[in-house]
Amino acid sequence: MRWSQTLIPTIKEVPSDAEVPSHQLMLRAGLIRQLMAGAYTYLPLGYRALRKAEAIVRQEMERAGAIEIHMPALQPIELFERTGRREAFGNVLINFDLKRGDRRVHLALGPTHEEVVTDLVSKVVTTYKQLPFTLYQIQTKFRNEERPRFGVLRTSEFLMKDAYSFSTSVEQLNDAYDAMYAAYCRIFARCGLEYLPVEAESGPIGGDASHEFMVPAGNGEDTIVRCPKCSYAANMERADTGRQLPAIGQPADCAELTKVDTPNATSIEQVSRMLNCEPSQLVKTLIYSADGKPTAVLVRGDHEANEGKVRRALGAASLELADEDTIREVTGAPVGFAGPVGIKCPIIADHDVPQIVNAVTGANAADAHYTGVNVGRDYQLDTTFDLRDADNGDPCPRCDGTLEHVHGIEVGHVFKLGTKYSKSLDAVYIDEKEDRHPIIMGCYGIGVNRIIASLCETRYDDNGIVWPLSIAPYELLIIPLNIEDEEVMSVANRCYDELTAAGVDVLLDDRKARPGFKFKDADLIGIPLRLVIGGKGLQEGQVELKWRWADGPDKVPVDSAVSEVLSQLDAQRKAEAEKVPQ
RNA sequence: CGGGACGUGGCGCAGUCUGGUAGCGCGCUUGACUGGGGGUCAAGAGGUCGCAGGUUCAAGUCCUGUCGUCCCGACCA
């Protein structure tokens, strides 16, 4: 492609709306333009990169034995009502009424396709002989994000590869899951991403039923807990703290239980300042409503309660912080003064809570706290749970290492679904004995746009994007320094023609512009290999070849320019391929 | 949904407090010079200051409302 024949609107100054690097670079390099919050047009360069990522995803899906289909984005709302996800999605599900003749139809724009694919399979599969298989598609998904942000990282419309496996046994499900897991590793490695598979919320099946693929990045929305010493990595939602179960016993040297005035001090910070103690000396008492029943959850003052863990510990289907009236009812005090001593509801506590000797807690009375609170004497616990977020510095649950937090962008998610959808949508098969069973499912998603955004978020320097060869919109950029110099242009055109014919993705900067201007644009759009053809060089019979990440150019004889480009591209492709797991 | 910020040529911004001829840089057009890391000079084009209403002799500027965008938080199968 000739630069003058395509549309690459680069921008010198950083658009004021863009904050994160990927957003700034994608706008500046002319990859995308915004239509509205959460909706972007992919311009030629951005779309080429996106399609390259898509091609890699497709190749690896096929290699893993998945079969491609294409399902409608328009879906009847009724399917979501049958699985209960209309309510679960809530406002995120984009849905609307349409008039068709004298009747109305209620439709949704697919936020994902579990319902549609399960409905399809329920109508097509009858016997175990047809199973197992895995279907996939690459398609635009729609979600009414409450708050789209970070440019293209979180949008209300995005390209997703979604795959669904259908099996008759847990063993078959595990095989499909493992195949997808391996394919994902290959995909992200081929795309040149640094990725981290982390354990994620696994739902009803438990165990290792779910992994997220994260790209470590400072601006990632997710917090990952990982151990630098072993391979343990988990989403904050489910990361274990590695705390040993402590014995619950009344400590030896207890202070007296004392009620102290703490006017208007409702936060951990205010109380610790007023009473001149560390937040770790406090017990944070949170009143939750678990399936409608109030429960007090105790964690140490400097810890954060983890709602997923609380929900699992209580075996509750729904969990939310209790409203003000409930809090007054069980504590007899306004919000901010709850404590375990004399509270009128069940208590569960994190492992670290009974370890606090002479703790400070709310006194269940307005403007008052207790000091000298001790388990066994002032309140009772039978057992403790892991109820809090794993913290920086916590012990690793798998080895003697120390956990640390990193932020990440979720680019993929693999999940063992079980029979949730097949049961509600009646997707069953008959076995050898003519018994009917719900099909066992798995689902596997990749955010294709996020592959591009994560690359831009992690691979750049002061001058612009640094694409890997595998995803770069073009592999080679030819820059003739002076397009009015006939010899320069004839060499440039010859290289362009020969390399294009050889199957290389070549962009030729045929714009009438000064060299410095072209170099700046070249670095900004980040094409991996750059071939510079200038009048001075040609007088010495030489052209220049430079990788985007290299310090300086290599001089190459004009006559061997084409072969040198081909062999260097080949070597780079091999180098990138070596990082891909088998 | 709670909190905050911002809407002025294509982009980045000043002007708003204290009402009185709409400005700067980049980009764009034309010409000349220049020609290896976002050039120089000259001459131009381009904006009903997000929108609506109000106050005023007079509104980019003050008031009310509204729409939009971004950031923090909540939410996120």
Residue type, A159: L
| ipTM of model | 0.94
The backbone torsions φ and ψ at residue A86, rounded to the nearest 5 degrees and listed phi first, read -60, -45
A120 pLDDT above the threshold of 60: yes
**Do residues A322 and A415 both lie within one domain?**
no
Q: Which positions 327-356 on chain A have a beta carbon less than 7 angstroms from any atom of strand B?
A: none
- Let me know if residue A249 belongs to a domain: no
pLDDT tens digits for A247-256? 666 667 788 8
Kindly report the number of other CB atoms within 10 A of residue A465's CB atom. 26
Q: Is the dihedral of CA A486, A489, A495, A499 positive or negative?
A: negative
> Using the CB atom, is residue A147 less than 7 Å from strand B?
yes
End-to-end CA distance of chain A: 34
Helices (H) and strands (E) in chain A, counts: 15, 30
Task: Provide, in whole angstroms, the distance separating residue A147's CA from nucleotide B3's C1'.
Answer: 14
**Do residues A179 and A302 both lie within one domain?**
no
What is residue A278's predicted lDDT score, i.e. its pLDDT? 87
A38 pLDDT above the threshold of 90: yes
What is residue A244's predicted lDDT score, i.e. its pLDDT? 64
A71 pLDDT above the threshold of 80: yes
Q: Look up the CATH number of the domain holding residue A203.
A: 3.30.930.10
**Do residues A109 and A170 both lie within one domain?**
yes
pLDDT tens digits for A421-435? 999 999 999 999 999
Question: Higher-confidence residue: A11 or A88?
Answer: A11
Counted domains in chain A: 3
CA A258 to each of CA A178, A252, A372, A564: distance values in angstroms, whole numbers, following the listed order: 57, 17, 6, 82
Bases on strand B under 7 Å from any protein CB: 1-2, 6, 11-13, 25-27, 34-39, 68-77
The parent domain of residue A152 ranges over: 3-240+405-456
**Do residues A99 and A151 both lie within one domain?**
yes
Q: Which long-range contacts (CB under 8 A, 24 or more apart) does A199-202 make?
A: A199/A233, A199/A234, A199/A235, A199/A238, A199/A239, A200/A234, A200/A235, A200/A237, A200/A238, A200/A413, A200/A415, A201/A235, A201/A237, A201/A238, A201/A308, A202/A238, A202/A415, A202/A416
Task: Provide, in whole angstroms, the distance separating residue A11's CA from nucleotide B45's C1'.
Answer: 21
Q: Look up the CATH number of the domain holding residue A485.
A: 3.40.50.800
- A528: confidence class by pLDDT, cuts 50, 70, 90: very high
**Do residues A214 and A133 both lie within one domain?**
yes
**Do residues A90 and A192 both lie within one domain?**
yes
> Using the CB atom, is residue A512 less than 7 Å from strand B?
yes
**Do residues A17 and A136 both lie within one domain?**
yes
Comparing CA positions, the residue from A486, A509, A482 lying closest to residue A496 is: A509
Q: Look up the CATH number of the domain holding residue A328.
A: 3.90.960.10
A525 pLDDT above the threshold of 70: yes
Determine the protein residue whose CA lies at the shortest distance from the C1' of B77.
A89
> Using the CB atom, is residue A516 less than 7 Å from strand B?
yes
**Do residues A61 and A118 both lie within one domain?**
yes
pLDDT tens digits for A444-479? 999 999 999 999 999 999 999 999 999 999 999 999
- Let me know if residue A390 belongs to a domain: no
- Let me know if residue A345 belongs to a domain: yes
Q: Which positions 367-396 on chain A have a beta carbon less than 7 angstroms from any atom of strand B?
A: none
Last residue of a domain, one of A373, A397, A428: A373
Cite the beta strand spans of A472-522 per DSSP E. 476-480, 506-508
- A313: confidence class by pLDDT, cuts 50, 70, 90: confident
A119 pLDDT above the threshold of 90: yes
- Let me know if residue A504 belongs to a domain: yes
Write the DSSP symbol of residue A196: E
pLDDT tens digits for A318-343? 788 888 888 888 888 888 889 999 99
> Using the CB atom, is residue A537 less than 7 Å from strand B?
yes
**Do residues A183 and A108 both lie within one domain?**
yes
CA angle A53, A54, A56 (to 5 degrees): 65
Determine the protein residue whose CA lies at the shortest distance from the C1' of B71.
A19
Task: Provide, in whole angstroms, the distance separating residue A277's CA from nucleotide B4's C1'.
Answer: 32
Last residue of a domain, one of A428, A456, A484: A456
Distance CA A107, CA A63 (A): 35
A410 pLDDT above the threshold of 90: yes
What is residue A279's predicted lDDT score, i.e. its pLDDT? 87
Report which secondary-structure segment, H or E, holds A67.
strand A67-68
**Do residues A234 and A123 both lie within one domain?**
yes
Average per-residue pLDDT in chain A?
Answer: 92
- Let me know if residue A461 belongs to a domain: no
**Do residues A77 and A32 both lie within one domain?**
yes
Task: Provide, in whole angstroms, the distance separating residue A487's CA from nucleotide B19's C1'.
Answer: 63
CA A280 to each of CA A277, A285, A532: distance values in angstroms, whole numbers, following the listed order: 8, 13, 62
Mean pLDDT of A555-582: 97
Mean pLDDT of A144-167: 94
A241 pLDDT above the threshold of 90: no
**Do residues A234 and A340 both lie within one domain?**
no
- Let me know if residue A250 belongs to a domain: no
- Let me know if residue A468 belongs to a domain: no
- Let me know if residue A279 belongs to a domain: yes
How far out from the chain centre does Cα A194 lie? 13
> Using the CB atom, is residue A519 less than 7 Å from strand B?
yes
Mean pLDDT: which of A215-229, A339-353, A516-530 is highest?
A516-530
Contact A261, A370 (CB under 8 A): no
Nucleotide in closest CA–C1' contact with A153: B76
Q: Which positions 158-217 on chain A have a beta carbon less than 7 angstroms from any atom of strand B?
A: none
A207 pLDDT above the threshold of 60: no
